[in-house]
Chains A and B, each alone.
Chain A
Amino acid sequence: MSRSAAEALVVEVRQVGDAFVVRLVGSADAAEAEELQLRLEQLATLEPRAVVLDMGDLAFICSAGLGALLSAYARLGHKRGSMRVVRPQPLIQRLLEMTCLTRVFPVYETVDDALNG
């Protein structure tokens, strides 16, 4: 079930082999985007094969939050496929499509698909 839009962002990280799965829960406003950026950039310094962003319970993200994703992507070396998105809610999917970020972050139906993609 989707979490509340007003719920503060929770970032859950687990390691699967040489990749990280990052589950984003709630909503990322400007204040939380900074923390998100720090967390993702920390992961990027560990040079994983991929960072998989599970967005199934992410209700909203602000533009600074999108910037946080792109900053971490830059730390990963701008390699297409190094950051992957899983099952974004329709509004987030629309935003990713409008901004053409689906060309940067491939979108998958499941975490397993993303890990194997």
Chain B
Amino acid sequence: MARTLRIPSDLGAAQQAEDELLEEVARYGYTEASTFAIKLAVEEALNNAIKHGNGFDGSKKVELTFDVSDERAVVSVTDQGEGFVPDRLPDPTADENLEKPTGRGVMLMRAYMDDVRFNDKGNQVQLTKKNS
């Protein structure tokens, strides 16, 4: 059954929410590698939601929803920002951006998870990891 945690735009609160998610993942016996992949991808998503989505605005919340089963973990992170178009983000693989230290969070999520999708508004990302 899916659970939703509604947290303030605060990195400490995000850490607590992430810990609750990982406890749920542990209950289903996911491999250590899958668990760590989920941890890193969700950290990226929560950081993006708090920093870029809500802009650290204390009046705005972030929702972390997770539905973990024996087969897969589905996690969504939703902020109250204006949203963004993933394809319009600066391309970190372009020559002029290649040596910049930031801007690779979405690519990292795609590398570590089995499926990554954004809603039309661009204020929600859904991450799926199979239990393998």
Interface residues of A (CB under 8 A from B): 4-6, 27, 29-30, 59-60, 62-63, 66-68, 70-71, 73-74, 78, 91, 94-95, 98-101, 103-104
Interface residues of B (CB under 8 A from A): 32-33, 35-37, 39-40, 43-44, 47, 92-93, 98-102, 104-105, 107-108, 110-112
A selection of 18 A-B contacts at a CB cut-off of 8 Å is A5-B32, A5-B37, A29-B39, A29-B43, A30-B43, A60-B112, A63-B44, A63-B102, A63-B104, A66-B104, A67-B104, A73-B99, A91-B112, A98-B107, A98-B110, A98-B111, A99-B92, A104-B99
| Alpha-carbon distance between A71 and B102 when the two chains are bound, in angstroms | 10
In the complex, the answer to whether A5 meets B43 with C-beta atoms within 8 Å is no
| Alpha-carbon distance between A79 and B67 when the two chains are bound, in angstroms | 46
In the complex, the answer to whether A70 meets B100 with C-beta atoms within 8 Å is yes
| Alpha-carbon distance between A60 and B35 when the two chains are bound, in angstroms | 11
**With A62-B43, A62-B44 as contacts: A74 and B99 at CB distance below 8 Å:** yes
Which residues in A have their C-beta under 8 angstroms from that of B99? 70, 73-74, 78, 104
| 16 more CB-based (< 8 A) A-B contacts, given A60-B112, A66-B104, A67-B101 | A5-B35, A5-B37, A30-B47, A60-B36, A60-B37, A60-B40, A63-B105, A70-B100, A74-B101, A91-B112, A95-B108, A99-B93, A99-B104, A99-B107, A101-B98, A104-B99
